[in-house]
Structure 1
């Protein structure tokens, strides 16, 4: 069941509803409520009487089916049961997905930590080992209700949305569409060079913001974008700097990774293709969420010609990178 939306997806979700939803699962709230940084969903830290605070994630209405959300939960629990540091949802009476006044939500234990910098080889090895373990589990079976990472879902469909809804300024529409036609040819060529790549269950959005670091090491959060795809999708977003720096970082990550799961080096052909797909999809994601008041407030520059000029420039830079040889490790 999804929420009835009048003004915006979360128009009917306020502090009172959040606390009442949590108490409906059997917890007693102490009144403390802190909104955490999240745009796709609404996420709160909720104080619980005589216990540690919980984190409540209220799913964006109509984005996922119940079956897709439950697959996310099952994957997180499967990883946690194998002592892989992934924050899994809490079960109440055997249920991890709850509903209150039309909003679906899940509760999680609060796990603190800081964003990792991965400046040291030992830290990169550590993250690589855990990603190898995640993918070893992810390769055992396929998702049935989660999406598959593809050129269609990450580029063709988003671009069609942008054009259909006239999001791109009229004076930039022709250069944008011409550039996208060229990029799609190069992206498909990258996938052809990579050849047949195993499609496994992935974290899907494994950037540094979704890894929290403590003295005990890293733990992974937010499997909201988990999906089927090539393993490299969970590795490339951890890289930064110039090609030499990225190659060094990736070498360390893969060294740790291969202690638990074999890395297909042909997938290195996909790094810039996947980066390009993410840039394309990001613009459409902002456009699709523009009716949510949180988005114009957080991204006020999005509906300006300046954004689209810079967006096109970024994509032109990617066109050049797609012609370069893959990283070497």
Structure 2
């Protein structure tokens, strides 16, 4: 079954759930668990929900929870000339910009829309938002707008440093994502200690008029402790820590089925001397070189690249995982392979 067809089936399942009388708004991941989706299908839930939102069939409510669309939200999903959707980036000052989606490239002559802090709502950097254009023009012809809807959250989890103040727990999120610390409840939640690096899940995103609130979901450890920086980077950029079991099983099946014979449509170079330049403890022998002299005395340097695609069938667990891991990530003392 193709990915598009499966997304369409998931959309129908989500619609049926959201429109059921006993449904309470849930986040996409919680919907995937409620529908008992497989790990592969769970990876498609965001795309399915996004399509439903764009079609005006469902909407995001408080806490990025999915709810049934009302007549008002359905109407607001229809494109209008004075509304633009795009990616939001917040600056350290609290103001931000929105870069319009490619769909608006021809009809909208500006590369970015300037969003004053008081008009940014609870949008966070990386969120896809819907902007109402305003008549206000700034210096150098800048175009301004006001965020009226969060179309899709980039994430609800952030990494930061835990501290306590006035008998309450707070987390200062890394980078310039939020101007103010985020309240995380009573001191010592999840046994967190001051100066620990932690992962939080947002319950309420902050805006220009209201502080944010979150819960600690993981304590990574004290600042400076070996390994904590690496785990911090992995959580901050949502890097995969392990291969899913279905991917490992697919790899085992492909290894067991491997046939060393060379079919007629492949070039047989097994008679040449081809060497790798990897150290003895390397795990990925993915390229090699050869050198030979032709009859005219010229040297031919050959570069040989592993044909990984030979083992990866389209839409297989290996294929889907490969799309998520487009490159290897090298961290101190650790490599997250592609």
Task: Report the TM-score, using the length of structure 2 for normalisation.
Answer: 0.30
Q: More helix by proportion, 1 or 2?
A: 1
Q: Which has the bigger relative contact order, CA under 8 A and spacing at least 6?
A: 1
**More strand per residue:** 2
Higher CA-based Rg: 2
Normalization by structure 1: what TM-score? 0.30
